[in-house]
Amino acid sequence: MNAATDTFAGPSTASDLETFRETAAAFLRDAVEAGVACPAYGAILVPALHDQARVWQRYCYDHGWAGLHWPTEHGGRGLTRAHTGVWMEECERASVAPYLNLQGIVLAGEAIMRTGTERQREQFLRPILTGEVLWCQLFSEPGNGSDLGGLTSAAVPDGSHFVLNGQKVWSSNAQFAEYGILMARTEPDAPKHRGISFFLLDMTLPGIEVRPIKQMTGDSEFCEVFFDDVAMPADALLGERGGGWGVAMAVLEDERGGAGSSGVISLRKRLTKMIEAAGDAGPLGRQSLAELHARGNALAALMELHGADPRMAPVAKLANSELGYDEVAIGASLRGADAMLASDETEAFLYAPGMRIAGGTSEIQRNIIGERVLGLPREPSP
């Protein structure tokens, strides 16, 4: 990496972060002008941008803009999370992807730094930052939906290996990924949440079959993944055997809080577009947009005031998912018959229902809010 990696080390101050912001914005402007920056695509890497995103990740690493708060011995800059937050904000302003994919940089990377052995850190962290290793997430299963505690995929200890059998679904980028973060049951007789372990799975192992799922947009961002007597080495285990639930809950907190302040910037952009769209809408359309705009402003204020509080993550996720769905539904209504034609807006309309499922369904978010944030009684279990 270049000399920029030695700049801005140490505690972050307001002036330090402002200088850092200016430098980040200049780097992104130059990258956009040079045509090397990858356009923003949200939490899920779009298959069509796969190659460009990998080139962009390597470019960021080579120029000192990858893993800003990660330790320098693993390829990072050794700065603070505040610096990472600034980078995310400036990427959102520039409409540029801040990293290769959430599953690798945020979920796998943070989990390995937090829980991994020194050998696992040395093996995985730098290749994550360079874009050499792409990760997928292997949590959800067909029979359990968002109930991760009910997963049935089993990893049975067998000498120096675990023998893995089962199925996962809704795994984004699994058809491209070299590794996946996996939850599987290792203690079948243990209580529901205590018999689960967390693994770093080599996706090239024999017995793994990946089947892309065709979406109604025509794309295949998600996959089914099948395991048939897959021999996982024992050192694929991350953390304690049977302690995977705690590892996974920390990962899910990273996922729900991954956008940070950049999410507010993205939301403000969307609110501006609502105002622009109102000029072409009739009285009823303007009323619908005004109601939607008020909800969006309330969400933005909530995120600005309480974004650092982890209890707000499910609230923001639920509100943003429902707002996004209603946003594209109203937009399609305003376009009338044109909304049925092939366009970017049509694809957004077809894609929107999935965002009420991805990252935990809206129903699950309501349960989390009720039980963990408001302290209401747990939902009855049939």
Tokens representing residue 236 in the block: 């694929």
255: annotated active-site residue: yes
Tokens representing residue 317 in the block: 């996720």
Q: How many residues does the chain have?
A: 382
Tokens representing residue 318 in the block: 């639920």
* Residue among 10, 136, 130, 8 at smallest CA distance from 74: 130
Q: Which of 255, 322, 347, 371 is catalytic?
A: 255
CA distance 112 to 114: 5
In the block, residue with structure tokens 């996962």: 168
Q: How far is CA 168 from the centre of its chain?
A: 17
Per the CB < 8 A criterion, the answer to whether 221 and 215 are in contact is yes
Q: How far is CA 2 from the centre of its chain?
A: 28
Q: Is the dihedral of CA 332, 338, 344, 350 positive or negative?
A: positive
CA distance 184 to 345: 39
Tokens representing residue 335 in the block: 């376009």
Separation of first and last alpha carbons in the chain: 56
Q: Where does the chain have alpha helices with state H?
A: 14-34, 50-62, 81-94, 102, 109-115, 118-130, 244-256, 261-278, 283-306, 312-335, 344-351, 362-368
Catalytic amino acids? 255
